Structure 1
Amino acid sequence: MTPVSGERVQLQVPGTGESLGVIRHGHFGRPVLVFPSEAGRAEDFANNGMVAAVQDLVDAGRVSFFCVDSLDGWTWSANEQPTEERARRHQLYNRWLEEAVLPYIEHELGGRLPIITTGVSMGAYHAVHFALTHAHLVSLGIGMSGNYDVTTWHGWGEQGEATYFANPMHYVAGMDGDHLHWIQQAASVLLVVGEGPFEWEPTRSLPSTRQFAAVLERKGIPHELDVWGHDSAHDWPWWQKQLAHHLPRFC
């Protein structure tokens, strides 16, 4: 039975007895996969006014949000673990998205449509990283107030292949050849950040967003950089405004 809009559905994490949740808002329209902020839950997007900020798009059937739980508490926020181990654990989250969430979205919509990903703070990293590594399915990644260098997240220990391929700041800089050409044709990224409170410290969102935009520019990957003013803080009221400003032109 199709769940009611706003109802939590639990989807099993591959190879485990655990599950994570997905909540859909909307009855039709462009699918938007929403990642929560650090260690957040699927409920956070609506509870912090983000759905209400674009309620007209939802009511008009222009967008369906699919909000997911994070696994950050076991992966990137597990600061007692070295960065490489956290990156390896993150691969399980990607498997859940690929093997459980994406098929669920396709089933709910009755077919496959190009997906938009979005998120705020650490969710911005997830949204942009997933878009760049799944450009065959995701047409646009929207990151708001993100930090795109995982080695700056209380990183320690020797870093290897898992960290490299989970770190957009590094693997995008290393792209070349046919793969880069394909990403140039298939991917698109929108980076939004403010210059106000907490966008510089402790999040490093402002410098990281600018640095990552410069990497995308050097690699010729389609992107937009939208820097808001000194009153624009690392907080939900501003992310509501940023979503309402940008999302209508994509749905």
Structure 2
Amino acid sequence: MTEQYHRWHSPNLNLDLEMLVFGDRGFPVILFPTTKGRYHQNKDFGLIESVKWFVDEGLVKIYCPDTIDDRSWYDKGIHPADRARNYAWYDKMLVDELAPWAMHETGVGKVAVAGCSFGGYHAANFAFKHPEMVAHLFTMGGAFDIKMFTDGFYNDDIFYNNPADFLPGSNKPDLWNMNIILGTSEHDMCKDYNIRMSNILTEKNINHWLDIRPFADHDWPIWKEMFPHYLSTIK
């Protein structure tokens, strides 16, 4: 399995970001880390190894970028408006820099996005905001309501980065063409968030799969079972 390290200066964030890329061809998959995780976390915890066959066969090329959790939603030292503004810039980085990079390298017109736990939030927010860029969304133990991080403050940056709020009113046509899988488990602390998101999608007649696995916790072992299963649905 080929592995490449990239470091670049993001003009949208005015920060240097790091990323690992696995594979040399295939459908581009942007895979986000969990809470405050770095770009190498999904490799360190075995999630990349769980899908080695897909990478080796040239079916997918996986991009594992840094996030800015400690400068956005998890930064309790700044005002919630600043947390939300910083995250809006991160979203712009994904739109202007990373997703076009992945599409250009692979020659594919859309990306897949995926993530476990808080990485599932990153993936869902990007997919539901920008469905014209996303063909597949895979979340594993994700939560989709960011208001728990905003201390009661609310503005447009929060609304437009909170899928539980903006998705009900969105009518972007590509939402109905996306392959959406919400993975959770019987003992997942985020199960209720997945059920609520499934209800929103159902109310909009958006086809999706709410995958609730039995006897499993909010942890890496079940996510390593889910991820290869979900990648197998990429056509």
Q: TM-score, normalised by structure 1?
A: 0.87
Which of 154, 173, 184 does residue 182 from structure 1 map onto?
Answer: 173
Kindly report which structure 2 residues correspond to 1:35-184, keeping only aligned pairs within 5 A, or say none.
35-109=32-106, 111-153=107-149, 155-175=150-170, 180=171, 182-184=173-175
Deviations 1:153-186 (A, max 9, x none): 3x314301111111000111233xxxx1614433
Which residue number corresponds to residue 247 of structure 1?
231
Which residue number corresponds to residue 29 of structure 1?
26
Deviations 1:175-233 (A, max 9, x none): 3xxxx16144333421000122xx22xxxx1111111110111112221100011x211
Compute the RMSD of aligned alpha carbons: 1.8
Deviations 1:93-115 (A, max 9, x none): 11221222123213422x23321
Quick one: distance in 2 between partners of 1:78 and 1:39?
10
Alignment-mate amino acid for residue 203 of structure 2: R
1:235 and 2:219 correspond: yes
**Closer, same or farther in 2 for the Cα pair 1:82/1:7, shift >3 Å?**
same
**Cα shift at 1:152:** 2.1
Which of 196, 199, 202 does residue 211 from structure 1 map onto?
Answer: 196
Quick one: distance in 1 between partners of 2:12 and 2:131?
25
* Equivalent position SS for 1:132: helix
Quick one: distance in 1 between partners of 2:104 and 2:5?
16
Q: TM-score, normalised by structure 2?
A: 0.93
Structure 1 runs, 4 residues or longer, greater than 3 Å off = 80-84, 183-188
**Cα shift at 1:84:** 3.3
Which residue number corresponds to residue 184 of structure 2?
193
Quick one: distance in 2 between partners of 1:76 and 1:171?
18
Where is the strand percentage greater, Structure 1 or Structure 2?
2
Contiguous gaps of at least 5 residues in structure 1: none
**Cα shift at 1:16:** 5.2
* Equivalent position SS for 2:210: strand
Contact 1:128/1:189 (CA < 8 Å) preserved in 2? no
Contact 1:39/1:72 (CA < 8 Å) preserved in 2? yes
Quick one: distance in 2 between partners of 1:143 and 1:98?
19
Alignment-mate amino acid for residue 101 of structure 1: L
* More displaced stretch, 9-18 vs 141-150: 9-18
Contiguous gaps of at least 5 residues in structure 2: none
Between the two proteins, the alignment pairs up a number of residues equal to 235
Contact 2:45/2:220 (CA < 8 Å) preserved in 1? yes
Quick one: distance in 1 between partners of 2:46 and 2:30?
16
